[in-house]
Structure 1
Amino acid sequence: MWMWFLRLTLSGQYIYYFSPRFVERVKSLAMKIETGCRLHFGLIDLSRESNRVDGGIGLGLKYPGIVIEAEESDILQVQGPKRERAKTAATAVIQEYGLDPVKITIRQTIPPHRGLGWGTQLSLAVGFAVAEINDKKLSTRTMAEVVGRGGTSGIGTAVFSEGGFILDGGHSLDSKSGFLPSAASDVPPPPVLSRLEFPDWHIKIFLPDSVGAHGSDELTVFEEGCPIPIDEVQKLSHIILMKLIPSIAQGDYILFREAINSMQFIGFKKREIKRQPDSLSLVNELQEMGYAAGMSSLGPAVFVISPDPIDIEYDGVKSIDTEASTTGAEFTDR
C-alpha cells in the first residue's frame, strides 16, 4: 500500500508525497492538496476477445491541476468551482467511514470535460482531504473505489499517487460487465503494470473551443464504438510494447513520435478522435510539422511533445505549456 514520503522545503514546510516508504504523521487541522492532471494516450483492448477489457496508457502532468484547502468544520461545506462534484466525493467518504464533516475550498481546478482527467483528480483530492482531516489512512486504490473512479482506466488514480508514465492491465470481464466509461463502472482501479519516468521533453496542450463527451454522450461513444476488431487491438498492443514503452525507457524521441502518431488512427482512439474534428485537424497539422501529437482521452485536448521548445500558437485556441510529473499529489499542512 502506498504510504507517505516526507520532505522539508526551504521555506520550512513539510510536504508529503505518496510513496512506498512510511512516515508517521499527526492529525491535520487544516491542509492544502495540490494535484496535476493527466494525458490519456488510449484504451488498449475493447474487443472482448479475451477475459480482460480496457487497459490504459497515459502520462501525469504537473499542470494544470487541482488546488484545494480543507479544515475542520461542524458541517460539510464546499466552496469554489465544481463544488457539486466535490461535495459528492466528500459525502461518500464521510458516509463510508463515519467521519466528521470538513470545510473544503476549491482554489483551482482543471478545465472540465477536456480530456485531462479533472473528475478523478478532484474526487481523489477531496476524498483524501476528508480522510486526512479525520486522521483516516487510506490507499489511493481504496479511495478511488469509495469516490467511484478508476472503473475503466487506471491512469488518473495512478498518477495521483506517483506521477510518471503509466500502463495499466485493465479489468477482468468476471468483474466488469462490458464496455463502460469510468463514470458508469463500479469496479476497482486496474493493476499498474508499468510506471516509467518520462524523458525531459517539452509538452504543450491545446484546448479547442469544445467539450469532450461526458455523461450519457460518453456512454454512447462506447456503445457505438465497441467492440474494436481484434486485429486493431493486436496492432496497437505491438506498437505499445515494442515502440512506445521502449522509446520512453530509452529517451528515443523518433521512436516515440512514430508510436504516438500512429496510435491516433487505430483502435478506440480512432473512434474518439473522429468525434472531435477541430482536434483531428490540429493533430494532423502538428504531425505534418514533425511533432509527436495526439488527442487526450475523448478530447478535445490536443497534446504535442518535443525535445525542443514548442513555439506554436493558434488564434482562438488556448494553449498550456507543461511538463511530466515525477511525483503524485502534494499534501501540505497549513
Structure 2
Amino acid sequence: MTQGSVLELIQQIENESCVLTKPERALLITDGSVTRLLEAFINAPVGVKTIQQNIVPASEKIAEYLEILPGEDVNFREVYLYNKNNDRLLIRAISYAPLKHLPPGAMTRLMNEDEPIGFIMRDEKMESRREILSIQKKLLPSECQIPNKRTCHCLSRSYRIIHNSRPIFYIEEQIPSSLFIDDSTVRVVTPSRLHIGLLDMNGSGGRVDGGAGITLKDPGFIIEISESDTFSLTSQEPGVSYQVQPILEKLIANGLSIPPVHIDIQQSIPFHYGLGSGTQAALGIAAGIGVFSEQNMSADELIAISGRGGTSGIGTRAFFMGGFLVDAGHRFGPGRKKDSFAPSALSSGAGPAPLVGRYDIPNDWNFVLAIPEGFAEIHGQFEHDVFQTFCPVPQHEVQALSHILLMKLIPSVVEEDLEQFGEAINEFQNYGFKKCELRLQPPVIREIMDAMIDAGAAGAGMSSFGPVVYGVCDSHMNAVRSAAQKIMNQENGGRTICTKGKNNGAEIERNGYKLQINH
C-alpha cells in the first residue's frame, strides 16, 4: 500500500467517523517502531504483556501474507502494550511469524521474553521495512476489550515486516479510540463558512437579510474541554484566547453555565476575515460545554445562547448540518423580528432565520481561499455603522440578486454545474449589499478575484465583509492558488488554503464516541 493510499484511508475514516488526533494518525501511518512512538506520546516507558503464545499451523490467509504454505508452523503471539508507570493498557497486538524465516536469536527472545518486536529486531541487527496492508475503524470484539475501558471501537491496522526480501511478521494492531482522549474530555471540531451575500437589505417587502453560503471543511476550530479544578482558557495559536474571551463572556451573559473546566483552542478560524469565526467559536464552546456537563440542549437553545444568527443564518446552520445553505431572513418593520438594519452580533433578539434550502456541495469542487494580511477588520461598531450607511440598498438590485440565487446559483449546485455556479458567484459581487461590502476593501481584493478567474477558477468572490477571497474550481487548483498568492505577495503578504465543501456539521466526540446534536 502506498503512502498516498494510507493517507486516503485515514481521510475516509475521518469523513465517516471523527477527526483523529495527531498521535492516532502517526500510529496508523508509521513504518517504524510503534513502541517508541507510544513512549514519546505518553512520556513514559512502554512494556509488553504477553496474553497468549503458541505454535500454530498457518491458515490460508496468514500463509498468503507470510508467503509460506498453508499449514506451516508459525508463532502466534497476542500481547498488550502498557504504560509501565501506571500499568494502563494501551494497544492490543497479535503477530504471526514463520519459524523457518526467523533467525534463532530472534525466535528465542520472541518465545521467552515480554519484548516489543521492534526492540528484538533492533538488538538482533535485522534490517527491515514495514508494509502497511489495511487501516480501518471497527468494533472491538467483546472478548478483546481492553480492561477498564468503556469504548467498544478501535482503530485497526495490519502490516508485514519484510527482512531479507521476505515477510517475517504479519501483525494486527488495535488502538482504542479513546487512547489519547481522557474519559472526561470533550472534543469539538467545527467547520467554517463562506457567506456569498445578503439577499435583501432593502426591506420594503416586509423581510430583510436572507442569503446563501457554503460550509467548508477547513479551516475550523478544534476545541478540547477537559475536567479541571479551576476554569482556564488556553490556545495553541497566539492571540486566539484574547479573541475568544469576549465570546465566552457573552455566552455566560446569555445563560450558559460553565463548570470548572480547561478549554484549549487547538486550532482556530482566522477572526474577522469573513469565515464565520465568531459563530463557530460560540457554538463550538456552547455545544462542548453542554455535552461535558450533560445538558441536553437543542440547536435552537444553543443558537440562542450563542447570540448569533440575528442577520444571517448561514453560520449557525453550517455548524449543525453543513452543505450549501439558503435562508429567508427575518420579518422586518415596527413590532416585527427586526426593525432596523444591523449585523448578527447586534441582532440576537431576532432569532434564527428560517432555512429554506439545503443542498449537498459536489465532492469534486475545490475552494481556494486567499487570506491577505494587513487589512482593516470590519466588526463591532464599525460594522454597525456600515449597515446604517449603505442600507436600504436599491430594490431593483435585491430583485437582481433574487433572480441569480433562484435561477442560477441553486440550480447549479443541484445539477453540479460548476461553470454556472461560478458565473452566479461572479454576478453576485455586483449587486446589493455585497457590492457595498466590496467598496470597503481596497482594489487589490478585486485584483485577487480577477487573478483567480484568469488562472482557471469558474468563479471568485469575497466572503461576507472579507477580506478573504475564494475561488471555486475543479482541475486548476494549484494555478488558482499561485495566482492569488502572487497578488498578495505584491502587497502585505498572506496565505492560501485549499479545501472542500463540507456536507455535515460540527463533530463532537467524548470518550471515543461521536455524538450528534439534533437540528
Common fold: TM-score over 0.5: yes
Shift of 1:293: 0.4
Structure 2 length-normalised TM: 0.58
Instruction: Map 1:94-243; keep pairs closer than 5 Å.
Output: 96=255, 98=257, 100-173=259-332, 174-186=336-348, 187-199=350-362, 200-209=364-373, 210-243=375-408
Task: Give me the whole-angstrom Cα distance separating, in 2, the residues matched to 1:68 and 1:59.
Answer: 22
Distance 1:114 1:14, change over 3 A: farther
Say whether residues 1:10 and 2:137 are aligned partners. Answer: yes
Shift of 1:303: 0.3
Say whether residues 1:307 and 2:470 are aligned partners. Answer: no
Which residue matches 1:21?
none
Shift of 1:98: 4.6
Match of 1:54 among 209, 215, 223: 209
Question: For the pair shown, which has the larger CA radius of gyration, 1 or 2?
Answer: 2
Q: What runs of 5+ residues in structure 1 fail to find an aligned partner? A: 1-5, 16-27
Structure 1 vs Structure 2 CA RMSD: 2.2
Amino acid of the structure 2 residue aligned with 1:201: W
- Quick check: 1:46–1:227 contact (8 Å CA) kept in 2? yes
- Quick check: 1:159–1:328 contact (8 Å CA) kept in 2? yes
Shift of 1:288: 4.2
Task: Give me the whole-angstrom Cα distance separating, in 2, the residues matched to 1:327 and 1:87.
Answer: 27
- Quick check: 1:30–1:72 contact (8 Å CA) kept in 2? yes
Say whether residues 1:279 and 2:483 are aligned partners. Answer: no
Which residue matches 1:19?
none
Which residue matches 2:163?
none
- Quick check: 1:86–1:126 contact (8 Å CA) kept in 2? no
Equivalent residue pairs, number? 317
Task: Give me the whole-angstrom Cα distance separating, in 1, the residues matched to 2:187 and 2:152.
Answer: 11
Which residue matches 2:231?
76
- Quick check: 1:204–1:319 contact (8 Å CA) kept in 2? yes
- Quick check: 1:163–1:328 contact (8 Å CA) kept in 2? yes
Amino acid of the structure 1 residue aligned with 2:270: P
State the SS of the aligned residue for 2:337.
coil
Amino acid of the structure 1 residue aligned with 2:320: S
- Quick check: 1:115–1:212 contact (8 Å CA) kept in 2? no
Which residue matches 1:20?
none
Amino acid of the structure 2 residue aligned with 1:180: A
Task: Give me the whole-angstrom Cα distance separating, in 2, the residues matched to 1:11 and 1:65.
Answer: 26
Distance 1:177 1:243, change over 3 A: same
Structure 1 length-normalised TM: 0.88
Task: Give me the whole-angstrom Cα distance separating, in 2, the residues matched to 1:87 and 1:301.
Answer: 23
Shift of 1:220: 1.9
Amino acid of the structure 2 residue aligned with 1:152: T
Which residue matches 2:506?
329
State the SS of the aligned residue for 2:137.
coil
Amino acid of the structure 2 residue aligned with 1:192: L
Which residue matches 1:3?
none
- Quick check: 2:217–2:502 contact (8 Å CA) kept in 1? yes
